[in-house]
Amino acid sequence: MAGEGGNIIRNIAGKSYKEAETITKDASKGALDFKSPKENTFYGKDGGKKFADYVIKEETKVINVNGHFYNEDGTFEGKVIVANYEGSINDVYVCAGKGSKKDTFINVKKLDIAHENFCYITGVLKAEDASTFESAAATTQATFNAVKFEKGDTLTIEEQGKLAAKLLSTGYSTATLKESLKDTENDSLCKNARKGLIHVLQEKKDYSEGAVLWDGIDFADRGVISARPHPKTDKDGGIHITKDLWIKFVNACEYKPDSKGIQRLYRHLEGKEGKGHDIDKSKAEALATIPFEEKKNASTNDSYNIFDFGQKKNSVWDTSVDSKGLKNVDYYETVGTGKFNKGRTLNKATTVVGRHIFWKPYKEHPNNKGYYWKGMMNHKL
């Protein structure tokens, strides 16, 4: 559906000729002989005419509709509510902008989601990470993927949207502020959040690369080796992550200077005399929480940390082979310690977008053969 609406132009009739390889037909005003409708000339009383001249024109009519209208870039353009118009004020449309007349919008397309769910999802997305369109789209898609993971692949987009809103209201999202986005809010974060959801509703590129979960700065802070390792690395099923993704993720986290000017993960507010933030990890300390290591001596299994923190040795961690011919490890794995995932590696890092690292179920891992995947995540949707 497209047009200038509150008004939607809807096709009601019209068909074009089907292409044929060879068709010969006699007619009272001449012979039609064509191998391809796109190339042939029709010969009649008034001479030759191209096939395109004979295509029946489509008939259209304008449909007036109620609903909320958003620009493709995420800007709220307006709403229409008129008694004799079709649809509901709870309908949602994407458009290319406002038309020349009041309550009209250009190139209107209906989105399969209720307005209340649209606003709630985008509100949580803004709180999660809408620093860029791509980060909002990735986080939204991971949520929709999680819905399908829990409820099956046969859900319609409208059903997925309804359940995505419900899922985000649970502990699945750890955003501290979960409020519906107001249509009056049109800053860059709001527009990115809406644009990301519109992108997912139109079933376009999956920026999460198949993920169903994500983590933010807390994962960089806790990692594997720390006073409080992140639960995903052990009781929640173990992880598989490449060195490149880990470095990209830690670099993407937010940092602020402490009381001495040292850049640290922005996990805690300054507190009294800035000491709250002073306990946060520096980038080097955060990198070291996942100890990508290389064996120094195969017989003794001695090893050193390639990030030059802790056991200091050979800080050139991006070299694939050292002078002794030992290859740096390019991925790191942990195994689950929970009752039903012990010894398995369930979470595989897929990508880093914005300030999130994304995870998908690692179904192809040999340790996971026979695992009951429905038990990995169940929010009782």
Q: Where does the pLDDT of residue 28 fall: very low under 50, low under 70, confident under 90, or very high at 90 and above? A: very low
What is the spatial distance between Cα 213 and Cα 359, in angstroms, rounded to a whole number? 5
What is the spatial distance between Cα 132 and Cα 52, in angstroms, rounded to a whole number? 45
Q: Where does the pLDDT of residue 59 fall: very low under 50, low under 70, confident under 90, or very high at 90 and above? A: low
pLDDT at 312: 34
What is the spatial distance between Cα 181 and Cα 185, in angstroms, rounded to a whole number? 7
Phi/psi at 121 (5° precision): -60, -45
The DSSP secondary-structure symbol of 377 reads: -
Q: What token pair was written down for 52? A: 């395109």
Domain positions in the chain: 4-10+60-111, 17-55, 119-208, 215-292+330-375
Residues 297-334: tens digit of each pLDDT: 344 444 444 554 443 333 333 334 444 444 446 788 99
What is the spatial distance between Cα 65 and Cα 85, in angstroms, rounded to a whole number? 5
More confident residue, 204 or 310: 204
Q: Please, what's the largest Cα pairwise distance for the chain?
A: 97
More confident residue, 2 or 136: 136
pLDDT at 50: 56
Q: Where does the pLDDT of residue 51 fall: very low under 50, low under 70, confident under 90, or very high at 90 and above? A: low
Q: Are 17 and 54 in contact (CB under 8 A)?
A: yes
The DSSP secondary-structure symbol of 229 reads: -
Q: What token pair was written down for 185? A: 């809010």
- Span 200-226, mean pLDDT? 96
Residues 270-296: tens digit of each pLDDT: 654 546 778 899 999 999 899 775 544
Q: Cα dist. 236→14, 40, 164, 287, 375 in Å?
A: 57, 66, 22, 21, 11
Residues 6+ apart with CB under 8 A from 84: 64
pLDDT at 47: 57
The model scores a pTM over 0.95: no
Residues 6+ apart with CB under 8 A from 69: 6, 76, 77, 78, 79, 80, 93, 94, 95, 105, 108
H or E element, residue 9: strand 7-13
H or E element, residue 27: strand 23-27
Residues 226-268: tens digit of each pLDDT: 999 999 999 999 999 999 999 999 999 999 998 889 899 988 7
Residues 6+ apart with CB under 8 A from 204: none
What is the spatial distance between Cα 78 and Cα 142, in angstroms, rounded to a whole number? 29
Sole residue written with tokens 């493709």? 72
